């Protein structure tokens, strides 16, 4: 019989979980047990606190569905998602850094031509994002696919608006033979993460800002290169230094230059004023 004490329970539990048949699962579970126990010992976790944590986890599961990923949001605000991204995408210093995917990417966005408008007449200041996709040696990458998505002026993503049956503020663009791309959209605004669930309840009891700075999301795929999940952030935007999900990086901050009515980068003509963000993405070879 194995008698349990406060002193030996951690080793007993870790050893038991080391019996997982898959070696990596055994390693991860034993370490999880050790760190969980160390955490409980450090804070001298009480029974009411343990019960509150169990209730919080239950509610986090209950509010989640195929459109709402509250556990991922929890991981994001704890900085875990961004830590995992950084450990697993340690690119060359010259490559564009990766950031979190976030919960609002939708597969199967429509393909648009060079300069195509992914805002489809939604209210907002016109924004052209232009540049070249390159390899580490500076050579242009032809045929890279930029999958782009963002929130509207109210901070809402397509999946947060009920009853939408066509793509909203998302599209795919291919780079031309010289590696260049051009997309038209509306200027993004900073927005709050969903605060009506267990994550919001936790954050509401702190001084943590629940906002993200204005940004556009990119997922770039090109043959021979690592997929790049990243964002571009507007220089000078509010919340750049307090992003609630720790997704901001200096290399991803870009100036949105104000432009007068006149020629636009897609060869068109703007009747009103507009913004231009120029950015060259640099991909990490496989
Ligand atoms: C986003 O930028 O879409 C996002 C990322 C993480 C959590 C919430 C939103
Ligand atoms: Fe976002």
Q: What is the pLDDT of residues 110-120, one digit of tens each?
A: 999 999 999 98
* Model confidence, pTM: 0.92
The string of pLDDT tens digits covering residues 191-212 is 999 999 999 999 999 999 999 9
Positive or negative CA dihedral for 211, 81, 132, 104? negative
With cut-offs at 50, 70 and 90, classify the pLDDT of residue 121: confident
Q: Ligand 1 pocket, 212 CB below 6 A?
A: yes
Using most ligand atoms within 8 A of CB, pick from 68, 70, 73, 75 the residue to mutate for ligand 1: 73
Same domain, 25 and 105: no
Query: What 3-state DSSP class applies to 32?
Result: helix
Same domain, 250 and 152: yes
Query: What 3-state DSSP class applies to 204?
Result: helix
Same domain, 193 and 258: yes
Same domain, 144 and 267: yes
Is the confidence at residue 174, as pLDDT, over 70?
yes
Full residue range of the structural domain in which residue 15 is found: 1-45
Q: Is 70 a member of any domain?
A: no
CA of 118 to the centre of ligand 1 (A): 19
pLDDT computed for residue 68 by the predictor? 87
Q: Is 122 a member of any domain?
A: yes
- Mean pLDDT across the stretch 38-53? 98
Q: Ligand 1 pocket, 72 CB below 6 A?
A: no
Is the confidence at residue 152, as pLDDT, over 70?
yes
CATH number at residue 90: 2.60.130.10
Task: Give the total number of structural domains in the chain.
Answer: 2
Is the confidence at residue 2, as pLDDT, over 80?
no
Same domain, 137 and 40: no
Helix, strand, coil percentages for the chain (3-state, nearest 5): 30, 25, 50
With cut-offs at 50, 70 and 90, classify the pLDDT of residue 1: low
CA distance 14 to 34: 6
Q: Is 208 a member of any domain?
A: yes
CA distance 191 to 175: 29
CA distance 86 to 92: 12
Q: Is 161 a member of any domain?
A: yes
CA dihedral 36, 45, 244, 28 (to 10 degrees): 0
Supply the DSSP symbol for 275. Answer: E
CA of 131 to the centre of ligand 1 (A): 24
């Amino acid at each position: 019989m194995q008698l349990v004490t406060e002193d030996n329970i951690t080793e007993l539990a870790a050893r038991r979980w080391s019996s997982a048949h898959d070696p990596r699962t055994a390693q991860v579970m034993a370490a999880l047990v050790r760190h969980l126990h160390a955490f409980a010992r450090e804070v001298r976790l009480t029974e009411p606190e343990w019960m509150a944590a169990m209730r919080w986890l239950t509610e986090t599961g209950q509010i989640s569905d195929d459109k709402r990923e509250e556990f991922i949001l929890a991981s994001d605000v704890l900085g875990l998602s961004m830590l995992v991204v950084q450990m697993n995408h340690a690119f060359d210093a010259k490559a564009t850094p990766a950031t979190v995917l976030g919960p609002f990417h939708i597969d199967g966005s429509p393909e648009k031509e060079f300069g195509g408008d992914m805002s489809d007449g939604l209210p907002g200041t016109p924004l052209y994002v232009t540049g070249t996709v390159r390899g580490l040696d500076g050579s242009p990458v032809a045929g890279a696919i930029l999958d782009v998505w963002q929130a509207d002026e109210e901070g809402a993503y397509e999946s947060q608006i009920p009853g939408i049956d066509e793509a909203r503020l998302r599209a795919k663009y291919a780079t031309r033979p010289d590696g260049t791309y051009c997309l038209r959209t509306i200027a993004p605004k900073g927005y709050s993460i969903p605060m009506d669930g267990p994550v919001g309840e936790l954050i509401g009891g702190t001084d943590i800002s629940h906002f993200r700075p204005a940004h556009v999301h990119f997922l770039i795929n090109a043959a021979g290169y690592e997929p790049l999940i990243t964002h571009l952030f507007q220089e000078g935007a509010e919340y750049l230094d307090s992003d609630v999900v720790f997704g901001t990086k200096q290399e991803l901050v870009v100036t949105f230059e104000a432009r007068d009515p006149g020629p636009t980068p897609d060869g068109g003509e703007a009747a009103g004023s507009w913004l231009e963000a120029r950015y060259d993405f640099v991909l990490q070879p496989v």
